[in-house]
Amino acid sequence: MKQNTLEKNIKFIEAQILSSQGRHHESKLIYESLLSRNKENHLIYLNLGVTNFLLGDFVGAEKLLKTSISLNKKSSIACHALGNSLASLGRPEEAVMAYDQGIAIESSYPDLYNDRGLAEMMLLNFSKARQNFQRAMDLDPKFLDAITNLGIALSHLNLYKEASQIFEKAITLDAQSYLAHLNLGLTLQFLGRLEESLNCFNRAHKLNPSDEYTNWNKANLLLLMGQFEEGWRLYESRWRSIKKQDVRDFNRPLWLGEESLTSKTIFIHAEQGFGDVIQFSRYIALLQLLDAKVIFEVQPSLINLMKSLQCASLEVIAKGSNIPAFDYQCPIMSLPLAFKTSIKTIPHEMPYLFPTEKKIIEWKEKIKNSLRLKVGIAWSGSKTLFHTHHRSIDLKTFSKIFNDKFDFHVLQKEIDEKDLGLLKNMSNVHLYQEQLSDFSDTAALIYEMDLIITIDTSVAHLAGALAKKTLILLPFVPDWRWLMTGEKNPWYPTTKLFRQTASLDWNEVIEKLVAELQDYLSV
């Protein structure tokens, strides 16, 4: 009996050694063999569960770890491992419960708090995440991951100055941490310290030249700074970073401006958001000048609008439909690189999109007759997009522009229930969210307006593409296409930009806008 126990112990140790060497498949076979002869040993379940986790079998890991905990309810390690498995399965709420169970057993383990904080981040509970990362740091002041994660949580809470100080602390602890330099660069960008941000990205790249996320962030910064040549080149890194999962194999060469398109067919495929497609659809006309036939694949809600592009050789198709034969392909956001676009050579033939006569007639009938000037408005963007809160404005603040000498027509489809309640009592604000079936409707509604007031959303791009007089309200550090300074924008000549002078403070912007509307009345 003792000999049998000794053999099991030796096998158990052998499996642990193999696992520490990264030989998890071999380790797993030993644990499974041990488990077949001893189904009451919580440590075997624990180690086999962790091994499955390391092999990417999170479902198997969950089952084994729950069995381990049922056999030994005092194992904080098993609870921690279960939390990690649940988080990897995309079940952060359950993960938090598992971490809590582990913390109740062992409250001085910094990794537990760090991973709990990551689960709270998945749930967008950034304040709770901050508390967990801070607790992990209190327990281990040199815990670099927790320090970096705290900085990220602070950034999500718009506490950029505090976040920059945390990332600087991380760099003090480890000057070779490219992630600390990268995150500090991002934070400094939100603080408007662009040159310092660029220096951070350059240091991060030097420390880890293979990291394409650094190139992606640097590309956006360079474009914001108006440095288009290098910016467009680095923008291609999106396919090796944030859009890695979206790469499509067309079995046809990528066109970036080198090959002749004479008598050739090029397939342009939409990517990213509606506004991006609207903005860069202007390049379709340039392809026609190269004697190319163009197949343009877009989101279904953009099809009717894109058919208005002035390109005789254009075929617009819906994403997901069968693609006709073609010779070359190019994602739409790569066209500025293909055409070597500088600020001076941005295509600005306006308008380049048009509502149909049929839609114009339909919307003339829908719009309430009034002698007042008609103003189209949009104050919030899609909740699914990153940093929407930076560019959106609380309706209570935005409503200060609702002068009773104007009729305001809402151009956005997504409206919060809270906002709907506020709008019901405003007789000069008109809603159409149920009637905007696609962007051809939005285009016709915009066409009927005297003026557009909007945040940075697809409405801004559509109004600009229709050459409508448009006032665009921008955060302190805007998206790169609006550049960092100035009232005018080279992409849309008929727009005027109203910029925050302090992060997240819309009051001054709204005050300027109210004054602008008064001037508009006097004209």
In order of start, what are the domains of the chain with their CATH numbers?
Answer: 2-239 (1.25.40.10), 265-345 (no CATH), 357-522 (3.40.50.2000)
Q: Residue 13 has what pLDDT?
A: 86
Cα 292 to chain centroid, rounded? 33
Q: Residue 40 has what pLDDT?
A: 85
Which single residue is written with the structure tokens 């392809």?
287
The three-state secondary structure class of 324 is coil
| Least confident interval from 95-104, 133-142, 185-194, 361-370 | 361-370
pLDDT in tens, 408-452: 999 999 999 999 999 988 999 999 999 999 999 999 999 999 999
pTM: 0.89
Dist. CA 39–CA 48, nearest whole Å: 12
Q: Residue 400 has what pLDDT?
A: 95
The DSSP letter of residue 333 is G
Q: Residue 390 has what pLDDT?
A: 84
Whether the pLDDT of residue 6 is over 70: the answer is no
Question: 12 pLDDT band (50/70/90 cuts)?
Answer: confident
Question: 522 pLDDT band (50/70/90 cuts)?
Answer: confident
Q: Residue 24 has what pLDDT?
A: 87
Task: Give residue 395's identity as a one-letter amino acid code.
Answer: L
Q: Residue 386 has what pLDDT?
A: 54
Which single residue is written with the structure tokens 């609006």?
482
Dist. CA 260–CA 249, nearest whole Å: 22
- Cβ neighbors of 210 (< 8 A, separation 6 or more) are none
| Least confident interval from 133-137, 310-314, 468-472 | 310-314
Q: Residue 429 has what pLDDT?
A: 95
Cα 207 to chain centroid, rounded? 25
Q: Residue 387 has what pLDDT?
A: 61
User: H-type helices in 140-295, by residue range?
Assistant: 144-156, 160-173, 178-190, 194-207, 212-224, 228-235, 274-280, 284-289
Dist. CA 232–CA 229, nearest whole Å: 6
Dist. CA 169–CA 376, nearest whole Å: 47
- 191 token code pair: 């603080």
The whole-number average pLDDT for the span 12-27 is 86
Comparing CA positions, the residue from 429, 431, 446, 448 lying closest to residue 492 is: 446
Query: In terms of DSSP bridges, do strands 451-455 and 373-378 run parallel, antiparallel, or are they unpaired?
Result: parallel
Dihedral pair phi/psi, residue 170, rounded to 5°: -60, -40
CA distances from 410 to 169, 278, 359, 420, 436 (A): 46, 19, 17, 11, 10
Q: Residue 523 has what pLDDT?
A: 67
Whether the pLDDT of residue 148 is over 90: the answer is yes
The whole-number average pLDDT for the span 262-279 is 97
Q: Residue 520 has what pLDDT?
A: 84
DSSP string, 55-121: TT-HHHHHHHHHHHHHH-TT-HHHHHHHHHHHHHTT-HHHHHHHHHHHHHH-TT-HHHHHHHHHHHH
Dist. CA 135–CA 150, nearest whole Å: 10
The whole-number average pLDDT for the span 256-273 is 96
pLDDT in tens, 209-256: 999 999 999 999 999 999 999 999 999 999 999 999 999 999 999 999
Beta-ladder partners of 333: none
Whether the pLDDT of residue 189 is over 50: the answer is yes
The DSSP letter of residue 448 is T
Task: Give residue 437's identity as a one-letter amino acid code.
Answer: S
Q: Are 491 and 481 in contact (CB under 8 A)?
A: yes
Whether the pLDDT of residue 52 is over 80: the answer is yes
CB atoms within 10 A of CB 219: 24
Which single residue is written with the structure tokens 């509606």?
274
Dist. CA 58–CA 199, nearest whole Å: 40
pLDDT in tens, 461-504: 999 999 999 999 999 999 999 999 999 999 999 999 999 998 88
CA distances from 405 to 336, 363, 520 (A): 42, 22, 11
Dist. CA 381–CA 273, nearest whole Å: 11
Q: Residue 36 has what pLDDT?
A: 83
Dihedral pair phi/psi, residue 192, rounded to 5°: 80, 10
The whole-number average pLDDT for the span 349-372 is 92
Dist. CA 376–CA 410, nearest whole Å: 6
- Whole-number mean pLDDT of the chain? 94
Strands (E), 309-354: 314-318, 328-331
Q: Residue 195 has what pLDDT?
A: 98
Q: Residue 503 has what pLDDT?
A: 85
Comparing CA positions, the residue from 402, 414, 277 lying closest to residue 335 is: 277
Question: 4 pLDDT band (50/70/90 cuts)?
Answer: low
Query: In terms of DSSP bridges, do strands 293-298 and 265-269 run parallel, antiparallel, or are they unpaired?
Result: parallel
Q: Are 478 and 499 in contact (CB under 8 A)?
A: yes
- Cβ neighbors of 438 (< 8 A, separation 6 or more) are 300, 301, 302, 303, 304, 305
Whether the pLDDT of residue 384 is over 70: the answer is no
Which single residue is written with the structure tokens 């860069």?
280
Q: Are 470 and 496 in contact (CB under 8 A)?
A: yes
CB atoms within 10 A of CB 522: 6
